[in-house]
Amino acid sequence: MKGITFSPSNNYSCYSKIQTDQTPRPIKSLTQFQFPLFNNKNQNQSSKNQPLLSFSVNSIKNTQTPITQPPPLVVVGSANADIYVEIDRLPIEGETISAKNGQTLAGGKGANQATCGAKLSYPTYFVGQVGDDAHGKLITEALGNGGVHLEYLKSLGGGVPTGHAVVMLQSDGQNSIIIVGGANMSCWPDKLSDQDLDVVKKAGIVLLQREIPDSVNIQVAMAARSAGVTVIMDAGGMDAPMPQELLNFVDILSPNESELGRLTGSSTESFEQISQAAAKCHKMGVKQVLVKLGAMGSALFVEGEEPIRQPIIPAAKVLDTTGAGDTFTASFAVALVEGKSKEQCLRFAAAAASLCVQVKGAIPSMPDRKSVLKHLQSV
């Protein structure tokens, strides 16, 4: 996947309001509660005969927040309206071509990851901004329907548009993307509110991406570190060097091979080169590097340990790779916050991503928990 980010002017007159009828409330009890993905008993049995889980598959959507719940997944990031155009090939310079089809769907790396977490039946909060426009309403509805807690989603006035992206989807499922930052890049306060930082400090894991300002990510990562909360930083989004001040507070950095190459100034064509680039990230202060490798699967590089490799779990068909990386990262985070081993986290994430690419659209393609576990049983 290729992505180009354009940051709009910040010269807007902004005000904030809560988009939904939900209002911020403290998370009173965050006692750890496990949703087992794997049954570790009877390991010698074949995987198909071995029960993979014991949990309720009921969605958290439209239910009251329980008195006791696990520490939530908190996603701070972007929300976009993805404008899809289906084409046979990319246009060359100066050329106009016709699209076979076009539609607008909710997306953005932050919104994608939040929806993925919620659809995997894990309590998930989204902290972000949309414009007071039709695209903002589209995204808010999609997040709410996915089961995401929206108390910290704000709508901006003053003519600030919702972030949007043009997704050029080719017939082989590959895509190229142009992003307009809109509300994602505009009118964030110089200092985040205590309410926003409170939900971060009470999280089980915080997920960040680079489609919002680095200054916001730094504040969030610092607050999470102060509370002992794991920070996963998806490197996708802004095509610019990542500030060392941000890297200092990141526990797990998750780039794809292209982003890893840009961040480290290294070639990433072979696994050996990818390993060397990951080692450079370790020297930057990030102890764990989770690399998404497309057709080669994924790999987790923990400083001082041997890499853990996870091959892809083949998909029956590949319709659209948009959102596959976000699905992988969020699924890994859910398994990790539930206390699974690194190997189990990688395998669960690979199964979720395999299902994602079989459906068009980012948020519409996010699989539910039952489907992922069924897919794991079948391979």
pLDDT tens-digit readout, 230-260: 999 999 988 889 999 999 999 999 999 999 9
Beta bridge mates, 230: 205
Query: Looking at residues 298-315, what average pLDDT do you find?
Result: 96
Has 211 been labeled as part of a binding site? yes
Task: Find out whether 135 and 169 touch, Cβ atoms under 8 Å.
Answer: no
Split at pLDDT 50, 70, 90, the class of 321 is: confident
Task: Find out whether 233 and 206 touch, Cβ atoms under 8 Å.
Answer: no
Task: Find out whether 235 and 260 touch, Cβ atoms under 8 Å.
Answer: yes
Among 132, 196, 234, 326, the active-site one is 326
pLDDT averaged over every residue in the chain: 85
Q: Of the candidates 238, 255, 341, 241, which has an alpha carbon nearest to the alpha carbon of residue 294?
A: 255
- Pairing type for strands 163-170 and 175-180 reads antiparallel
Please state the separation of Cα 1 from the chain's center in Å. Answer: 15
Task: Find out whether 160 and 130 touch, Cβ atoms under 8 Å.
Answer: no
Has 242 been labeled as part of a binding site? no
Has 217 been labeled as part of a binding site? no
User: Would you say residue 54 has pLDDT above 60?
Assistant: no
Has 41 been labeled as part of a binding site? no
Residue 265, Cβ density class (10 Å: 0-12 exposed, 13-18 middle, ≥19 buried)? exposed
Computed on alpha carbons and rounded to an integer, the radius of gyration of the chain in Å comes to: 20
Has 159 been labeled as part of a binding site? no
To the nearest whole percent, how much of the chain has pLDDT over 70? 82
Catalytic-residue membership of 326: yes
pLDDT in tens, 12-21: 556 555 444 5
Query: Looking at residues 353-357, what average pLDDT do you find?
Result: 95
Has 368 been labeled as part of a binding site? no
Has 163 been labeled as part of a binding site? no
Has 112 been labeled as part of a binding site? yes
Question: In the chain, how long is the greatest CA-to-CA distance?
Answer: 63
User: Would you say residue 356 has pLDDT above 80?
Assistant: yes
Q: 233 is written with which tokens?
A: 């930083």
Task: Find out whether 171 and 88 touch, Cβ atoms under 8 Å.
Answer: yes
Distance CA(221)–CA(239), nearest Å, equals 20
pLDDT on residue 376: 94
Query: What 3 state SS string does the chain have?
Result: CEEEEECCCCCCCCCEEECCCCCCCCCCCCCCCCCCCCCCCCCCCCCCCCCCCCCCCCCCCCCCCCCCCCCCEEEECCCEEEEEEEECCCCCCCCCCCCCEEEEEEECHHHHHHHHHHHCCCCEEEEEEEECCHHHHHHHHHHHHCCCECCCEEEECCCCCCEEEEEEEECCCCEEEEEECHHHCCCCCCCCCHHHHHHHHCCCEEEEEECCCHHHHHHHHHHHHHCCCEEEEEEEECCCCCCHHHHCCCCEEECEHHHHHHHHCCCCCCHHHHHHHHHHHHHCCCCEEEEECHHHCEEEEECCCCCEEECCCCCCCCCCCCCHHHHHHHHHHHHHHCCCCHHHHHHHHHHHHHHHCCCCCCHHHCCCHHHHHHHHHHC
Prediction pTM value: 0.83
> Considering only 98-112, 161-175, 189-203, 298-312, which range has the smallest mean pLDDT?
161-175
Q: Of the candidates 1, 77, 115, which has an alpha carbon nearest to the alpha carbon of residue 362?
A: 115
Has 293 been labeled as part of a binding site? yes
Split at pLDDT 50, 70, 90, the class of 167 is: confident
Has 326 been labeled as part of a binding site? yes
Q: Of the candidates 324, 322, 333, which has an alpha carbon nearest to the alpha carbon of residue 354?
A: 324
Has 108 been labeled as part of a binding site? yes
> Considering only 36-45, 105-114, 219-228, which range has the smallest mean pLDDT?
36-45
Split at pLDDT 50, 70, 90, the class of 68 is: low
Task: For each of the domains in the chain, give its residue range(s) and CATH number, in order of start.
Answer: 73-77+108-134+147-153+189-378 (3.40.1190.20)
Has 294 been labeled as part of a binding site? yes
Q: Is 322 left (phi over 0), alpha (psi -120 to 50) or beta?
A: beta
Has 256 been labeled as part of a binding site? yes
pLDDT in tens, 73-122: 999 999 999 898 999 999 999 999 999 999 999 999 999 999 999 999 99
